[in-house]
Structure 1
């Protein structure tokens, strides 16, 4: 790293000083999982912690009860450290958002110590509902990121990946309505909504042969009927559609909507398709930020792999993708030892409070802080980031990448 020794050491000392508090935050959020837009305890925990350490905290940011923005400093280069803290329904923190929240908080504390020296505004942004609901997208649309020059966070995963290739995603529900009847006494009077759902599922399954690269569909039946002895007149399913980018996602959505329509046409049912959550875009990493983070992670002895290996790793989807289309962004993954488990498995939830997860909190906090400090210290990069921000505010943004 080219970061000055005094700045780098001060960041490290600050993270070490607050290490037990940061790990307690991680463990407390993990022990009390809260799902999308219901993360009242987690948001209050972080907001109170930062307020007690000199941050000016805006609670209920963007009109969302469980969102907040904590600010320190008034420098021209505003760095947003995104803290996620929502859990998965029925599975708790199997995606490790407790680690994310604590790492972003730790990075905020470290940057607080050098904010005046580096001309920073440090923002820890509490972003609810990443798993389901698009909290960051809502906050982006409502202006929370308008003042931000750089947005960053770090996400736990089985592997270390400084530039993961996330997928764009759409979240759709289809509902079929038919006519109930007795399936033995008067089956001819029925219009079977369960059959409509079956036809749609088969159509999607057959369509997979012709999907484009990185397109995929997966879903669950959320309502299948009430009794085997009544022809189902009301069924529903929820599907995630993923693709390499938004353009590909739009083509996939058109095909899947046709499959939904096929179920209705084949059975005579009515059908309705609704968007459950707003579409998430694919991530666009800022290459310079990725390189700076990679240097920081290497300095910390993280288990890095080659950029070629990174590109081949499977990834999920995130609403940070929408932020990254507007603000120069960084969203690396940081490895924890899940014993072979991956995100969204119960075993991974258990691993998110293991010793390797604790190390990920502290290493992630320091790597993010070093990356932001390096961007603020490098005159050319600082000027680039400020110019991008000024152009965006003027309504003529160049490509953030």
Structure 2
């Protein structure tokens, strides 16, 4: 029996466990850095399957690693499991996390034969915070030669890029006053936010192609007869590269500063987690994944150079090591990710098949990397020559 056949047989034997995992993650969605149950569900499954599990790694309570094998070629598989506020797993991360576990479990019986170490990395807070970036900075990826994951979507696609992103927690501090008796005694923080939003709206006409700004106001006052002394918001800036993001952020920052200048309020801009880099997918890994997915009967769209998704902290990983982040699809009606309607499709038979196919396609991709002498040599040489991010 070939390594691919053994991996497939292993995955089939764990099908019920993996589908149950996906459904359980979906039923109990948890937000960024609060995924205690979700992380434990995946870590417990790996622990019970003979993996060496380390929990709360990198000073992150909901991060973990699970390793199997002792080979010199370390294959990193990243598991996502955080959800979105109010709409649960409209991100599809229950499928992402279960697919990662599926790939790791499928590879375990062939790890020694292939001379690989399977490393499943539980990465929290992809939807806001950037768990992968923290884990990269703190050494969890230092030994990883190639990294991979799949992301739930309405279709299968390989090779797309993503936008770099930076997020802020915005706060204006003013002074409360009676809105009728003494409005002149107040400093209106909500007006400062309004002026900033108008300035951002005016800036949109001159935004370079590929740049985006979006946000929500999270507090604009408590009573109409009180001048708001505090207003807060959560804003995101996106651009096609980290370099373009820097210039874009400067312009958006100026808009927020305008609100403070016009009203006399005090502005605070705090980073919300780490910046995400644009995604760069490795061509060799992409070709191997596409061939594996198509061998399973899936129809895979190949993205062109202009195709970009949203934003992902997998982008930061891709700037350091060969990485893939393909989409694995299932019928979602006319819903897209981050739409409440997408959530209800996350435990359908189509989603279950997608998580299993995505996991097996990743496992077969790892087999291809390990068995191809040229690719294996390249990956080992690159990881040996790389200065670990944690040591920079």
TM category, shorter: over 0.9
* Residue 306 of structure 1: how far off its partner (Å): 3.7
2:247 aligned partner: 251
Write out per-residue CA displacement over residues 139-167 of structure 1, whole angstroms, 9 at most, x where no aligned residue.
11110001111110000012221122111
Q: Is 2:57 aligned against 1:61?
A: yes
1:369 lines up with 2:363 in the alignment: yes
1:14 aligns with 2:10: yes
Aligned twin of 1:272: 268
The one-character-per-residue Cα deviations of 1:269-325 (angstroms, maximum 9, x if unpaired) are 1111111111111111111101111111111121222433xx454511111111111
CA–CA distance in structure 2, aligned partners of residues 346 and 272 of structure 1: 32
Give matches, 1:142-291, under 5 Å: 142-291=138-287
CA contact (8 A) 1:164 1:333 kept: no
Please report the TM-score for the alignment, with normalisation by the length of structure 1: 0.95
8 Å CA contact 2:170–2:269 kept in 1: the answer is yes
Classify the secondary structure of the residue corresponding to 1:272. Answer: strand
Q: Which residue of 2 aligns with 1:125?
A: 121
Residue in 2 that maps onto 1:360: 354
Per-residue deviation, 1:393: 4.1
Q: Given the two structures, how large is their TM-score scaled by the length of structure 2?
A: 0.97
**Cα shift at 1:178:** 1.5
Counterpart position of 2:385 = 391
Alignment match of 2:79 (pick from 60, 77, 83)? 83
1:330 corresponds to which residue? Answer: 324
Contact 2:53-2:66 at 8 Å conserved across structures:
yes
- Bigger Cα displacement from structure 2, 299-308 vs 275-284: 299-308
Contact map agreement 2:95 2:151 (CA 8 A) in 1: yes
**1:351 and 2:345 equivalent?**
yes
Distance 1:254 1:158, change over 3 A: same
Q: Name the residue aligned to 1:339.
A: 333
Residue 37 (structure 1) aligned with residue 42 (structure 2): no
Distance 2:279 2:308 in 1: 13
Task: Name the CA distance, whole Å, in 1 between partners of 2:120 and 2:388.
Answer: 25
Q: 1:284 to 1:306 in 2, by over 3 A?
A: closer
Q: Distance in 1 between matches of 2:246 and 2:319?
A: 17
Total equivalences in the alignment:
390
Do 2:158 and 2:302's aligned partners in 1 also have CA atoms closer than 8 Å? no
Asked if structure 1 preserves the Cα contact closer than 8 Å seen for 2:163 and 2:308, the reply is no
* Cα deviation code 1:309-351 (max 9, x no counterpart): xx45451111111111112111111112110101111111111
Contact 1:169 1:279 in 2 (8 A): yes
Separation in 1, partners of 2:277, 2:328: 21
Runs of 4+ in 1 over 4 A off after TM superposition: 311-314
Q: CA deviation at 1:127?
A: 0.8
Task: List alignment gaps of at least 5 residues for structure 2.
Answer: none
**2:314 corresponds to which of 317, 320, 334:** 320
1 CA distance for matches of 2:286 and 2:18?
24
- Change beyond 3 A, Cα 1:181–1:393: closer
Q: What SS does structure 2 have at the residue aligned with 1:344?
A: coil
